[in-house]
Amino acid sequence: MLFLKTLSKIIAPHLSRFQKTQGRSCHSVFDFKELLQHEKPDQFTVHPLTSEHHQMALDAIKRHYLSEHVLVRARKMDLNDRALDEYLVSLMKQGNSLYAKAEDDAVAGVCVNFASSQVDPRNLRVYAQYRQDPNIKDFLCFTAKLQETPNLWEAFKQTKIFEIKMLTVLPEYRRQGLAVTLTERSKELAIDLGYKVIRMDCINPYDYKVAERCMLHCIVKFPLHKLRGPHAPYIKRSSELNQCVRVYVEARAQIDAPDQTRLGNKLELESLIE
């Protein structure tokens, strides 16, 4: 009993100070987000990418995204090819892409999104076969093979998959959370439009961190030399460009039990790839 009285005398002053502090600055979980926004106001605004912004988006994607792409670096590709511009614009014309502006109205980032069906990789291969530049042809075939690896239309029984395809932030605006903001806004757009599966393929060393911060789940991971198929370019196992591809997904659809086992446990990788 004496021990409890002594302990009470020691704790009482500290408890009193804590209660006063709590009364002044305690925030519930419901207004914690508002507190953070108050301390760090939004520096960027996100807008739909319309036809008047296509040229701006083309320049940003080619300069800051494609310049770091595995095949572009390996083949030293000419990014000024008209066929490449046509392919990129065809993605933007769907109307699901976004771009961000800084406070001074300067373009800060671009996120190209595309809702793909199972015929899109086949159509892209057909388009690639009529391109004159062999590097552009290989790039388009590589993109088609990656798009159907694994075949999420079959796995999730969906006619369309919302893909976060190309995400870039201009160098002067990086490390400020803009990539995460663009990804989150893309997810919100997909949900609003009724798409039940969102996909993001991550190849470079930092984009997978964005996917994980946005609570996407990695369902499969494989090295690029595993990516084979009709007209798919060959990447050697020993190549320094043989990086890992991580396929991240957020699914709001019911999955059949066999497919859920394969995706959830990341088993039978070869059957997913081929």
If you average pLDDT over residues 156-175, what whole number do you get?
A: 96
Q: 168-177 burial, b if ≥16 CB within 10 A, otherwise e?
A: bbbeebeebb
Look at residue 73 and tell me if it is in a domain: yes
If you average pLDDT over residues 125-149, what whole number do you get?
A: 92
Residue 260 pLDDT exceeds 70: no
pLDDT digits over 19-52, tens only? 444 444 444 444 444 434 444 447 899 999 999 9
Look at residue 34 and tell me if it is in a domain: no
pLDDT digits over 140-163, tens only? 998 999 999 999 999 999 999 999
Q: With CA atoms as reference, report the closest residue to 70 among 184, 187, 173, 223.
A: 223
pLDDT of residue 9: 52
Backbone angles phi, psi at 57, to 5 degrees: -65, -40
Look at residue 24 and tell me if it is in a domain: no
Which of 56-65, 66-75, 131-140 comes out lowest in average pLDDT?
66-75
For residues 200 and 220, give the distance between their C-alpha atoms in angstroms, rounded to a whole number. 12
Look at residue 191 and tell me if it is in a domain: yes
The CB density around residue 118, as the number of other CB atoms within 10 Å, is 16
Q: Which amino acid is at 267?
A: L
pLDDT digits over 101-123, tens only? 999 999 999 999 999 999 999 99
If you average pLDDT over residues 84-94, what whole number do you get?
A: 97
* Domain coverage including residue 155: 41-273
Look at residue 108 and tell me if it is in a domain: yes
Q: How many domains does the chain have?
A: 1
Report the CATH number at residue 121: 3.40.630.30
Cα–Cα distance list, 5 to 2, 234, 259 (Å): 5, 78, 63
If you average pLDDT over residues 232-249, what whole number do you get?
A: 81
Look at residue 5 and tell me if it is in a domain: no
Token code pair at residue 215? 């609570």
Look at residue 28 and tell me if it is in a domain: no
Of the chain, the percentage scoring pLDDT greater than 70 comes to: 74
Residue 255 pLDDT exceeds 70: no
Tell me the pLDDT band of 229, cut-offs 50, 70 and 90.
low
Residue 251 pLDDT exceeds 90: yes
Length of the chain: 274
Look at residue 235 and tell me if it is in a domain: yes
Highest mean pLDDT among 77-81, 156-160, 233-237: 156-160
pLDDT digits over 12-21, tens only? 554 444 444 4
Helix spans in 113-198 (H): 120-129, 134-147, 152-156, 178-192
